[in-house]
Chain A
Amino acid sequence: MSNHTSGADQPGTAAAAQLLEAGHQVGDRVREAIDARTRAILDVWMAVAALAYALAFALACFGTINGVALMPGVGNESDSGMTVVFLVIGAFFAVRALAEGLTKSLRQPARRPSRTSRFFTASASALPLLALVILAFTAPATPWPLVLLIAVVSAVPMVILALRSASRARTAGIRRPQPALSGLLDPAGRAITAGLGLALGVLGAATGLPVPYLGSIAFIVFALGLVGTQGARGSVGAVAEFWGRTQWTAFGCSYLLVLGQAVLLARTPWDLTVVSIVGGVLVAAPLVVAAFRPAPIWEA
């Protein structure tokens, strides 16, 4: 090439090493900014997921139908109320696993929130949820406005966190347009994505079937599967890094469908077997289809 140096002003060994080091540092700072933007988007969606979770929990577990409380052990002898709770919790476990996996793949920000700050954020979110669980068992006929208020309050810390992250990312001035390259997930990624959809679908289907403890057993297997594979290459969290907009949208649909199914199972007068099976299929379908759709390939 004609534009290559041949003069005496070429860098010496020390200067070359210095340039390379400077280049590395600049590249690191850019990657950190890109990851901050990804983290901000994740925080926003986690806030939406937390709010949906709290509302679904409130809708599925509070109130009475024909004078009978929805929760088991209070006004209803069957275990279906309990498994509806498990269904809601199971969906949120999946969200947490994916979020943790994606967070692990991101560079840690230079200024991390202090341990005290993280403790307060987690507590501020968890305490109202805990209050909801206790109320669901002890006072399922709690007035609706109060239940709704507690559900919304539980999502407030996540929303504040999301707004802060979004504000920081907006001023960063670094963004990713559409990726130039895309391709199918690798075979393990496809299997895990489709498997997660099927597992959520089975969990949804098992919840309302008239088989004693089937929903509880399905939840335990699902939760053990998530916890047992945590951190492994074949885990749900590991695949999150490679998902694109299609896969995340599909998961969002499956998540909302699971929560919707939980509410429906708790409140509907329809045949629960039909609701369970149709719901399970609808829950599984988006992720199974998305597993075989292209995902973006970003520069390393």
Chain B
Amino acid sequence: MAGSHPRHDLDDALHTPLRFSVMAALRADVEIDFGTLRDLLETDDSALSKAISTLGAAGYLTVRKGYVGNRPRTWLTATEAGAAAMRIHVAALQAIAAGAREP
């Protein structure tokens, strides 16, 4: 049922704190290495891989394999759709959080 409550704008793909944090870190004009993102978000390889799979399936990020020297690296970038979804989700969260300050 559609309604005006901000919770209706929350996105399932961004629902877990880790997936939300991944999208908060990624941008459309920046590439972040998998290992750097893992350290930044203080998580482990397995949890981050799952989060990336879900977000990738939703079309919110792209994965690119590359090399720095001889070392393989996985680079992640937010897609335009991902950035837009994140903006809507953040606006919904802000509206929900603002509710706490209302009398």
Q: Does A146 contact B (CB under 8 A)?
A: no
Contacts of B63 in A (CB 8 A): none
Known interface pairs A5-B11, A17-B97; A179-B29 also in contact (CB < 8 Å): yes
Is A19 in the interface zone, CB < 8 Å from B? yes
Q: Does A298 contact B (CB under 8 A)?
A: yes
A-facing mask of B22-33, CB < 8 A → 1, else 0? 001101111111
Partner of A173, one of B13, B15, B24, B33: B33
Known: A17-B97, A26-B41. A3 touches B36 (CB 8 A): no
The answer, yes or no, to whether A74 is at the interface (CB within 8 Å) is no
Answer whether residue A126 sits at the interface, using C-beta atoms and an 8 A cutoff. no
Contact (Cβ within 8 A) B58 A298: no
Asked if A245 CB lies within 8 Å of chain B CBs, one says no
Q: What's the Cα separation between A47 and B8 when bound, in Å?
A: 54
CA distance A20 to B99 in the complex (A): 14
| Contact status B25-A19, CB under 8 Å | no
Decide if B58 touches A3 in the complex (CB within 8 Å).
yes
Of the A-B pairs whose beta carbons lie under 8 Å apart in the complex, a sample of 30, sorted by A's number, is: A3-B11, A3-B58, A4-B10, A4-B12, A5-B12, A5-B15, A6-B1, A6-B7, A10-B7, A11-B96, A12-B96, A13-B100, A16-B96, A19-B17, A20-B93, A20-B94, A22-B24, A26-B24, A27-B24, A30-B27, A30-B30, A30-B40, A33-B36, A172-B36, A173-B73, A174-B30, A175-B30, A177-B29, A177-B31, A298-B29
Kindly list the 5 A-B residue pairs having the minimum CB-CB distance in the complex, ordered from nearest: A173-B36, A173-B33, A13-B100, A23-B24, A17-B97
Q: Are B21 and A174 in contact (CB under 8 A)?
A: no
Distance of A285 from chain B, by nearest CB (Å) = 31
17 more A-B residue pairs beyond the given contacts A23-B24, A175-B75, with a C-beta to C-beta distance below 8 A: A3-B58, A4-B8, A4-B11, A9-B15, A10-B96, A11-B10, A17-B100, A19-B93, A22-B20, A23-B20, A26-B25, A26-B41, A27-B25, A173-B32, A173-B37, A176-B29, A299-B83
List residues of A (257-300) whose CB comes within 8 Å of B's CBs: 298-299
User: Chain A 1-41 against B: per-residue CB contact (8 Å), 1 yes, 0 no?
Assistant: 10111100111111011011011101101100110000000
Q: Which chain B residue lies CB-closest to A171?
A: B36
Question: Whole-angstrom distance between the alpha carbons of A299 and B27 in the complex?
Answer: 8
**Contact of B90 with A23 in the complex, beta carbons under 8 Å:** yes
Q: Are A20 and B25 in contact (CB under 8 A)?
A: no
Q: Is the CB of A174 within 8 A of B29?
A: no
Q: Tell me which of B8, B68, B100 contacts A14 (CB under 8 A).
A: B100
Chain A contact-residue range equals 35 or more
Q: A4-B9, A16-B93, A172-B36 are in contact. Are A299 and B28 (CB under 8 A)?
A: yes
Choose from A4, A10, A22, A27 the contact partner of B17 (Cβ within 8 Å): A22
Least distance between A127 CB and chain B CB atoms (Å)? 37
A298-B28 Cα distance, complex, nearest whole Å: 9
Q: Which residues of B contact A23 (CB under 8 A)?
A: 20-21, 24, 90
Query: Once the chains are docked, how many angstroms separate the CA of A17 from the CA of B98?
Result: 8
- B48-75 CB contacts (< 8 Å) to partner A: 58, 68, 73, 75
Give the chain A neighbours of B77 by CB distance below 8 A.
177
User: How many Å lie between the Cα of A22 and that of B21 in the bound state?
Assistant: 7
Decide: A299 near B29, CB < 8 A? Known: A5-B10, A23-B20: yes
CB closest residue in chain A, given B27:
A299
A110 at interface by CB-CB < 8 Å: no
Bound-state CA distance A6–B9 (Å) is 9
Interface string of A164-198 (1 = CB under 8 A from B): 00000010111111011000000000000000000
Once the chains are docked, how many angstroms separate the CA of A281 from the CA of B65?
A: 47
Taking a contact as CB atoms under 8 Å apart, the answer to whether B40 and A29 are in contact is yes
Best-surrounded residue of B8, B93, B99, B100 (most CB of chain A within 10 A): B93
